[in-house]
Structure 1
Amino acid sequence: MVLSVSPTDSSVPQNVSALKEWDVQCQLLTTGRVSLLLRKGGIMETHDGFEVEHRQFLLYPTFLHQNPQELRGEYQALLHPDPAPGEIALPALAEVVAVQKVESLEGALRLEPLQALTAGAIERRFHYRNRLWLHALLLRVRPLITPLTLEETPDLLGCVSWVPLGDLRVEAGPPAVSEEELEQRQEELQHLLST
């Protein structure tokens, strides 16, 4: 698998996976309107502590479990039906810049302005399976120069977060958010979690 990250980055990851996320969230990340995801699933906890399963991955937009009631009002207009059932259009490459395990509901709720979910959705995810935490992932997102369209085969289906992909070649362009803006968003994230 060959993955071009940028003209100045010579690293080529050996294995690339995709992270399933609501289509609206993928749209917001790909356009740079947000850089933060709040996740409970798809993340591994090892005996050494928390780790993100993949540091780089493609965004895999999903429509099946997208819940309009859990999206903030200003993002409702981005909701639409799946334009091509049976196909997946992967829009961007994401790189994890920072990960925070948030273990207080108050801290999690303070992050509402930085991402797409409502306070109610954040609270529901925080309490999911009676494990009182969630993870905040700050992402550097690079839209693909040509979005990658795949047939949605049976091995891509199911309620899983991470999907390994086959032998692919994709090329990502510049980040959707400047490094200065991403640093400001990271500082705001740290500030909100430290108050």
Structure 2
Amino acid sequence: MSTKAGDLPALKEWGAVAHALLRGRQCLLLRKGGIHEKRFEVGAGRFLLFPTVAHSHAEQVRPEHQDLLPAGAADSTEERVVLRCALDVVDVVPVERPEALADVGDLHIWTRGSVDARLDFRPRHRLTALVVRARPLAEPVVVERGPRHRGCSSWVDLAEDLEHRADDLEHRARADAGDVITPERLWSHAGPPALDDATLQRAAGAVRRALA
């Protein structure tokens, strides 16, 4: 996904993963891109996480992380989506040695079967590993789910959703007070990272050594 000034990219990922990232239990994402995408591309160095949910997620999260599932499900319903997690890219690693994915299992919450499913999806496409820094938004962003949020795509631009808030009376009052939500404001007011830089650099090194 290529971005330009004013865009607010969000990556679709499991709601439970958003909470894992914010609690420091995860810093690794594994992606191949949706069925309508030629490949997975990281077009921005920072983005939000757009939570998704499915019944199968419960079977694909390791037992010690099952407690994250209810919160993840509550953030992604048919009517609305709650975004809580801002991400900065620490490293992007093309996976050249998928047989070594088990060596970085401590950097995510998925079961081995879930990782294998991501690897087997679109077998001609290479898996990409992202090491990310997670920060909590100062105030969760709630968007009404619409047709453009659906479909098998990796990314969605939420700038239009923020613009639609201008039709809300409360939002206009906040805008008059200089408190309107903008991409810049989201990043500048986000909370401290879930993991420190030294930990993330060690994780990035481990991912490169294992998978590159």
The TM-score range, normalised by the shorter chain, is: 0.7 to 0.9
* Counterpart contact for 2:82–2:142, Cα < 8 Å: yes
Q: Does 1:128 align with 2:121?
A: yes
Q: Paired residue for 2:156?
A: 163
- Choose between structure 1 and 2: higher helix proportion: 2
The separation in 2 between residues aligned to 1:130 and 1:146, in whole angstroms, is: 39
Q: Paired residue for 2:26?
A: 34
Which AA in structure 1 matches 2:97? Answer: S
- Choose between structure 1 and 2: higher strand proportion: 1
| Percent of matched pairs sharing the same residue | 37
The separation in 1 between residues aligned to 2:120 and 2:100, in whole angstroms, is: 13
Question: Greater CA deviation, 94-103 or 158-167?
Answer: 158-167
Q: CA deviation at 1:130?
A: 2.1
* Counterpart contact for 1:104–1:133, Cα < 8 Å: no
The separation in 2 between residues aligned to 1:66 and 1:55, in whole angstroms, is: 30
Q: Paired residue for 2:93?
A: 100
Q: Paired residue for 2:202?
A: 184
**Structure 2: gaps spanning 5 or more residues:** 164-180
The separation in 1 between residues aligned to 2:15 and 2:209, in whole angstroms, is: 28
Query: What secondary structure is seen at the aligned counterpart in 2 of 1:172?
Result: coil
2:66 aligned to which of 58, 68, 76: 76
The separation in 2 between residues aligned to 1:66 and 1:113, in whole angstroms, is: 21
Change (3 A) 1:94 1:108: same
Query: What is the aligned-residue RMSD (CA, Å)?
Result: 2.5
* Counterpart contact for 2:25–2:109, Cα < 8 Å: no
Higher Cα radius of gyration = 2
Aligned pair count reads: 180
